[in-house]
Amino acid sequence: MPRLMIVGGHRLLGRVKVSGSKNASLPVLAAALLCPGRCVIADVPELSDIAVMCQALTCLGARVQRAGGQVEVDASCVNTLELNDELTRRMRASNLVLGPLLARFGRAVVAYPGGCNIGSRPMNLHLKGLKMLGAEISERYGYIYATAERLVGAEIILDMPSVGATENLIMAAVHAAGVTVIKNAAREPEIVDLQNFLNAMGARVRGAGTDVIKIEGVERLEPARHTVIPDRIEAGTHMIAAAITRGDVCITNVIPEHVESLTAKLREAGVQVESGDDWIRVVAGGRPRAVDVRTLYYPGFPTDLQPQFMALMALAEGTSIISETIFENRFKHVSELRRMGADINLEGHTAIIKGVPRLSGAVVEASDLRAGAALVLAALAAENGSIIENVEHIDRGYEKLERKYNTLGARIMRVHS
Ligand code: EPZ
């Protein structure tokens, strides 16, 4: 099992380039199932989650070729419409094949992804929407069985703006008869990226980025080429890394608008943030001020940056309150931050963080992707050395993280025990 050894106390200085978005790549790769022919997707990051999605597409019979940041998917020969739990348990987002398979073939069988470390992660909103489009859904033995002679456009009002449900329903609706309207849709930039790829294939999707998305069913789609947007969560992680190490870092290949909520919070904390068209520079001279955060759906403060921001607030001057409103169990990093000297108390979905002047290195365990990233940031700022176990969680969502931070002056070594 790989682990990271980090010697803290080094300011991050210099420039770092953000990779393509994991959470944009995953639905776009699934959408390549919608038509026969070769789709070419560029700027796909080399991550274990992407590898699992590519494996899922291959299991379904698609031909997947990867060369550097480019992935070619030829779904001409898809001959299986069933995805077993070996894959869906490894990566929840493999459930995004449900919509495309149903749209193109009228049938799909997908194992329930099950819960994970941050919550139960149900799919009720996905299934409720598919039923409203006319799909027959049955659930047994841990599998979802979906069939549809012909999907028919409908007005779907989501109980909550679920990112995955919005993505699955958009893809399911591309061939549905008539118009589908999804209300209370998620507004994340990754959904805009999916819309752009689908429209390049000949779909008629409008409104992504707002809470009302309209999909006019079309008869045929053609394979297309697409370049995914930069990863806003990776960008935000680097912004916080610069702040927590009192560094000076220019982050390139970023869309500043996508991280506006974090930028506002960093400025509130006294961190200097300036930006251009595709870059953001973060300069931090001293301890940040304590600020309160409440995670919300986009464009609110993203839950995927909550653990990383908590690591920063652990060193702030004053007491901050962080409320996690999206997932029911996304505080697994708290116990590990405490081992490093953080003063954090939990009351339900709220964390009260009393800033301390310094953190000390420790042996800590990553429990999930973003919790692991938070521990890396805390270790970068801590005095003396830390060891982070279960680094495979971090590898799910960060491409060459230690290489990027070592280029900025960090001292991180990956060891394989
Ligand atoms: C996406 O997950 C992201 N993953 C997550 O990023 C992100 O944290 C999440 O959106 C919220 O922004 C990808 O895009 C691959 P949701 P998703 O459906 O789609 C509940 C990361 O670190 N819900 O918006 O699974 C659910 O339990 C990952 O990169 C239902 O109740 O998230 C959760 O509490 C972690 N029923 C809330 O909605 C449903 O049918 C948000 O979930 C679906 C969701």
pLDDT of residue 270: 98
Tokens encoding 225? 């080429």
10 and 75 together in one domain: no
Q: What is the mean pLDDT of residues 398-402?
A: 95
Distance of alpha carbon 342 from alpha carbon 232, whole angstroms: 27
Domain C-terminal end among 182, 208, 227:
227
Where do the DSSP E strands lie in 114-158? Answer: 136-140, 143-147, 155-157
Distance of alpha carbon 29 from alpha carbon 349, whole angstroms: 34
Nearest residue (by CA) to ligand 1, atom 37, is 326
Give the count of domains, the chain: 2
Q: How many Cβ atoms are within 10 Å of 23's Cβ, its own excluded?
A: 23
Alpha-helical regions (H) of 183-288? 189-200, 232-244, 260-268
pLDDT of residue 27: 98
Tokens encoding 387? 């060891």
Q: List the domain range (segments joined by +) for residue 257.
A: 2-19+230-416
Residues in contact with 329: Cβ distance below 8 Å, sequence separation at least 6, in sequence order:
117, 118, 119
Strand partners, 280: 251, 275
Under a CB-based contact definition with an 8 Å cutoff, are residues 12 and 379 in contact? no
The CATH number of the domain holding residue 59 is 3.65.10.10
Q: Residue 248: in which H helix or E strand, if any? A: strand 248-252
325 and 350 together in one domain: yes
Q: Which atom of ligand 1 is nearest to the CA of 120?
A: 27
Inter-helix orientation angle 306-313/369-381, to 10°: 20
For residue 285, the CA-to-ligand 1 centroid distance in Å is 35
| Among 206, 214, 207, 160, CA closest to 182 | 214
Sign of the C-alpha dihedral, residues 155, 160, 161, 163?
negative
> In a mutational test of the pocket of ligand 1, which residue from 137, 163, 294 has the highest number of ligand atoms less than 8 Å from its CB?
163
40 and 179 together in one domain: yes
Nearest residue (by CA) to ligand 1, atom 8, is 304
CA 316 to chain centre: 26
360 and 258 together in one domain: yes
67 and 98 together in one domain: yes
Band (151; pLDDT cuts 50, 70, 90) = very high
99 and 220 together in one domain: yes
344 and 203 together in one domain: no
Q: What is the mean pLDDT of residues 370-379?
A: 98
Distance of alpha carbon 353 from alpha carbon 342, whole angstroms: 8
Q: Residue 70: in which H helix or E strand, if any? A: strand 70-74
For residue 326, the CA-to-ligand 1 centroid distance in Å is 8
Least confident segment among 2-6, 88-92, 155-159, 356-360:
88-92
* Vertex 110 angle, CA 108 and 111, to 5°: 160
Phi, psi of 300 (to 5 degrees): -70, 180
Band (90; pLDDT cuts 50, 70, 90) = confident
212 and 92 together in one domain: yes
Domain C-terminal end among 227, 252, 270:
227
15 and 31 together in one domain: no
34 and 165 together in one domain: yes
pLDDT of residue 133: 98
222 and 122 together in one domain: yes
Residues near ligand 1 (Cβ within 6 A): 23, 26, 92-93, 119-126, 160, 162-165, 186, 303-304, 326-327, 369-370, 397
Tokens encoding 33? 């199932």
Predicted structure pTM score: 0.97
Residues in contact with 10: Cβ distance below 8 Å, sequence separation at least 6, in sequence order:
245, 380, 409, 410, 411
Distance of alpha carbon 274 from alpha carbon 284, whole angstroms: 12
228-266 pLDDT tens trace: 999 999 999 999 999 999 999 999 999 999 999 999 999
Tokens encoding 203? 């779909």
Q: Is the pLDDT score of 200 beyond 80?
A: yes
Q: Give catalytic status of residue 116 as yes or no.
A: yes
Band (345; pLDDT cuts 50, 70, 90) = very high
17-52 pLDDT tens trace: 999 999 999 999 999 999 999 999 999 999 999 999
Domain C-terminal end among 212, 227, 242:
227
265 and 247 together in one domain: yes
